[in-house]
Amino acid sequence: MLKRFRQEKSVWLKHATFLLKRGQTEATHRLLEHALRGLPVKEHVDVISKFAQLEFQFGDPDHAKALFESTLSSYPKRTDIWSIYIDMLIKHGSQKEVRDVFERVIHLSLAPKRMKFFFKRYLDYEKKYGTADTIQAVKAAALGYVESKSSLVES
C-alpha cells in the first residue's frame, strides 16, 4: 500500500496507527522519516502533527512533545499547531506543561484576533483547573497585552 499510494497521507497515518497500537514505536519513527520523503513538502507539517497526535494517544508522549516542539520552532505562527499541541497536553500532559505552553503562546507576536483566542482558551483552562490567583494572572496578562497594543496605536 505504501509503495502504491505514497502520495496519500491517510495511508501513512493508518499504517502509523497500526504500528503504534502494536507497540512498535521505533518502526513508527522510521515510518515518519519515510513518509516525509514520499509526501509533498506542503503536507509535511500536517503529517508531523498527526504523527505527534498518534504518539500522544498510543505511543511515547515525550517523543510527541519533541515532534510538536520542533515543528513549532520552525513554524511559530502556525496557530493551528499550537492549538492541537495544547489540546493534546490538556488530555495527556501535566498542568505545568499546559501552563508553560500557554505562557509561550500568549507572548508571541500574532494578530490580535489570534491572541484573543488563546487568551480566552487560557482563561477557560484556568477557570476549570486553576485557582483564583492563576485566573487573575491570566486576566492581568491579557490586560497588559491590550494596553501594549493600544499604546502602539496611540503613538
Distance CA 53, CA 1 (A): 22
Give the three cell numbers for residue 37. Answer: 520523503
DSSP 60: -
For the whole prediction, is pTM greater than 0.75?
A: yes
Distances (CA, A) of 91 to 32, 55, 78, 86, 140: 23, 13, 21, 9, 26
pLDDT at 38: 86
CATH annotation of 1-78: 1.25.40
Residue 149 is predicted with a pLDDT of 80
C-beta separation of 108 from 117 below 8 A: no
| pLDDT of the residue at 2 | 66
Which residues of the chain are modeled with pLDDT < 50?
none
Which residue ranges make up each domain of the chain? Answer: 1-78, 94-155
